[in-house]
Each structure stands twice: as structure tokens, then as C-alpha cells.
Homo-oligomer: A and B are copies of this chain.
Amino acid sequence: MSSSGRTGRRPGNPEVTKQAILDAARTAFGELGYERATIRVIARRAGVDPALVHHYFGTKQTLFASAHELPFNPAELIARIATAKPENLGKEIARLYLTVVGAPDSPVLSLIRAAATNEAAARMMREFIEDLLLRSAANWIDAANARLRLTLVGSHMIGVVFARSIVGIPTLVALDVGTLIEAIGPTIDRYLMDPALDNL
């Protein structure tokens, strides 16, 4: 796709170029799914060189996060979790999920809503999550069934965010986040570390 038809786009204006990349990324992820929307495809649609996409946005994961205005960088989030003290791990993950990833004003809620009703959005979400699990998160769990363990954690947290911020179950809405973190933390620890899950 050539950029010749774009009006108001001046080569060399970084902000305009960045925005064109983000727009191309958002539509490509939505139309093609996360896997098939390669950096090369997104660059072509934005009329720029793939190297420029990497230069501005790093990996495909961070480009995805930027394109959907996610309030976190997946790589940084995982790094923060990986460096948490073992005794705080479950609570730290619950805290990040409830106050950052799925906070009541987080764009992640829009992605969850879209995935619930639209197969293209569901596909985009599952491919992004699988990529996240495969490439980064699974590396910091030193236990068998790392991917299953992380999927159980993620499923639980999506459910809490869904029940609390989308359906609005009063019992959960009324509860302060600190108490919720206390309640959920040990479950996350169990999913990540309990040897009983090694042999499933």
C-alpha cells in the first residue's frame, strides 16, 4: 500500500508517522488476528519501513499494547512480576491485574467486551495471550506445566475483572481492592507453585 494518497502526511514528521503506524496496527490486528498481523504487514499498510516500526515501538507485543492504548507495557509488567519476592508473588500479580491491567477505566475492558461478542476480536485476544505466555511469561516459572499454571491465573483474574468491572457484582464492587488481593493472592501462588499441579 502506498502512502501517496494520504493528505497531511509529511515525511519526516515523527508524530504523524507514529500515528499512521498505530492506526495500521490496530486495523491489522483486528482484521488479521495477532499472529498474521506481522510487523512487515503493518509497516506496508502504514507506508513505512519495518525497521522504523521496530525503532518506534520495539516488539510486536509493545506495538499491540500501544495501538490499544493499554496502560502497561507487557514486557515491563512481566519484568516487575519476575522480580517480586516469592512471598509476595500472588498478591503482586493480583494487585497489577486489579489496579493496572483490568482497572475500571482500563482499555482492557473494551478488549474483553469485544472478545465476548466478536470472533475476530476473540482471535486477536487469544493469539496475543498465547504469544505472551509462550515468549516471555513461561520463562520465569520454574515448574512443570508453566503454561497451564499461567493460564489458570489469567483465567481467574479475567473472571474477577469481568464480574467486578463489567457485570458489576455488588459483593465484589463493595470490596476494597486490598481485601480482594488478600483473598486471591494465595490462589495465584498455588497455581504458580503447588507441586500438586506438576503431574496433571
A residues lining the B interface (CB < 8 Å): 112-113, 115-117, 122-123, 125-126, 129-130, 133, 147-148, 151-152, 154-160, 162-164, 166-172, 175, 179, 182-184, 186-187, 190-191, 194, 196-197, 200
Tell me if A197 and B168 are in contact (CB < 8 A): no
Q: Which residues of B contact A112 (CB under 8 A)?
A: 116
Q: Which secondary structure dominates where chain A touches chain B?
A: helix
B155 touches A159 (CB 8 A): yes
For the complex, give the distance between the alpha carbons of A168 and B119 in Å.
10
Cα distance A158–B157 in the bound complex, in angstroms: 10
User: What is the count of identical protomers in the complex?
Assistant: 2
Partner of A168, one of B122, B169, B171: B122
Known contacts A116-B116, A169-B129, A169-B130, A156 near B151 by CB under 8 Å: no
* Apart from A147-B171, A155-B163, 16 more pairs, CB < 8 Å: A116-B166, A122-B167, A123-B168, A126-B167, A126-B169, A151-B172, A152-B183, A154-B163, A155-B172, A157-B159, A158-B162, A179-B200, A182-B200, A186-B196, A187-B187, A190-B190
Across the interface, which residues of B come within 8 angstroms of A182, CB to CB? 200
